[in-house]
């Protein structure tokens, strides 16, 4: 069984899969509301318009997983991006893989702090939400609308994510 060791979530190493949502990743910083608020502008694109889609804002409540964790399936959303922002301040795990001719390539695991979000680019293979420590809520922005926007892939051999 292949084993993954999670590495810290950093914008540069995650960029092939999407964007890290955190203030340091903004393209522009603006003072708004008469200087009482700092806007970290344009951190991650919301790509949901394919096939007449529209943006949805939801809250996902994830039950915690324990490590080591066996991964046997990855999914992707071919019609839109999907962003997760933790609301509880707890770390969580991100498992992603590049696309290789319609199938997941070599998976990578990242440990996200409770202050970092992720936005999976359209078509990025990823494991569903992996909360750690306790039940955790996440603000999610993704695509609503018609069309098949979920593809699941059962891995030929499970992989294990080792403790951090």
Q: Which domains does the chain have, with CATH numbers?
A: 2-161 (2.60.120.480)
What local confidence, expressed as pLDDT, does residue 119 receive? Answer: 98
Q: Are 77 and 46 in contact, with CB atoms under 8 Å apart?
A: no
Quick: pLDDT tens for 82-94.
Answer: 999 999 999 999 9
Q: What is the pTM of this model?
A: 0.93
Sign, Cα dihedral of 57, 59, 64, 70: negative
Confidence of residue 145 (pLDDT cuts 50, 70, 90): very high
Instruction: Looking at 7-84, list the stretches that DSSP marks H as alpha helix, in order from N- to C-terminal side.
Output: 11-14
Pairing mode of beta strands 28-32, 125-126: unpaired
pLDDT above 90 as % of the chain: 95
């Amino acid at each position: 069984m292949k084993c993954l060791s999670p590495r810290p979530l950093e914008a540069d190493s995650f960029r092939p899969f999407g964007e890290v949502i955190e203030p340091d990743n903004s393209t522009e910083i603006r003072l708004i509301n008469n200087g009482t608020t700092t806007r970290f502008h344009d951190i991650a694109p919301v790509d949901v318009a394919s096939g007449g889609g529209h943006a949805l804002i939801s809250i996902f409540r994830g039950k915690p997983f324990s490590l080591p964790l066996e991964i046997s399936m990855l999914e992707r959303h071919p019609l839109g991006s999907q962003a997760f922002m933790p609301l509880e301040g707890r770390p969580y795990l991100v498992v992603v893989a590049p696309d290789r001719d319609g199938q997941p390539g070599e998976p990578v695991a990242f440990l996200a702090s409770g202050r970092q979000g992720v936005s999976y680019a359209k078509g990025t293979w990823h494991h569903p939400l992996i909360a750690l420590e306790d039940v955790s809520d996440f603000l999610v922005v993704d695509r609503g609308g018609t069309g098949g926007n979920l593809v699941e892939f059962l891995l030929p051999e499970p992989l294990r994510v080792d403790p951090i």
